[in-house]
Structure 1
Amino acid sequence: MDLAKFVKAKRNAVKLTQPELAQKAGVGLRFLRDLEQGKKTLRMDKVNQVLSMFGHQLGPIENINIEDEQ
């Protein structure tokens, strides 16, 4: 699941609207909308503000190259 889908699913699971989550996380509504729409360039600190509402944070992950697995 990508970040945009993750945030939207978590928000819906706790029955918050976008404006409600933006306010609780301390980010702007436009930022949250950009995040849920999968915008490629977002401030990591603000993404972490949103993710912290669900007990998560950004972190490095290993790239998985499908061609290497074949």
Structure 2
Amino acid sequence: MQEWNRNSEIAEFVRNRRKKSNLTQIELADVTGVGVRFVRELEQGKPNLMTDKINQILLFFGHTLTPTPISDETRRNLGE
């Protein structure tokens, strides 16, 4: 089982944007149409979340999940 990573880029992005927007987790859940539990798990870095729900939140902030190229070094270190 993968460990949760509170410092993942998506978790930090959502948490920081929510706070800059002066929203609570409950308010973000209400305005984006996802559950409060989902917002909490996303901000806590749960590794297995539904991408469509992540995009619901990211779209609120004007972003979306997209494939991003990674370096050869990162690719070599994926199995560690």
> Is the TM value for this pair above 0.5?
yes
Question: Following superposition, which runs of at least 4 residues in structure 1 exceed 6 angstroms of deviation?
Answer: none
Q: Which residue of 1 aligns with 2:50?
A: 43
Q: Which residue of 2 aligns with 1:31?
A: 38
User: Is 1:3 matched with 2:10?
Assistant: yes
Q: Distance in 2 between matches of 1:7 and 1:44?
A: 14
User: Is 1:54 matched with 2:68?
Assistant: no
Q: Distance in 2 between matches of 1:18 and 1:31?
A: 10
Q: Distance in 2 between matches of 1:16 and 1:57?
A: 19
The TM-score with structure 1 as length reference comes to 0.90
- What are the Cα deviations for residues 41-64 of structure 1, in whole angstroms up to 9, with x where unaligned? 000000000001100000001122
Q: Which runs of 5+ in 1 are unaligned?
A: none
The TM-score with structure 2 as length reference comes to 0.79
> Number of residues paired by the alignment?
68
Percent identity, please.
Answer: 48
Letter in 1 for 2:20: A
Q: Which runs of 5+ in 2 are unaligned?
A: 1-7
Letter in 2 for 1:3: I
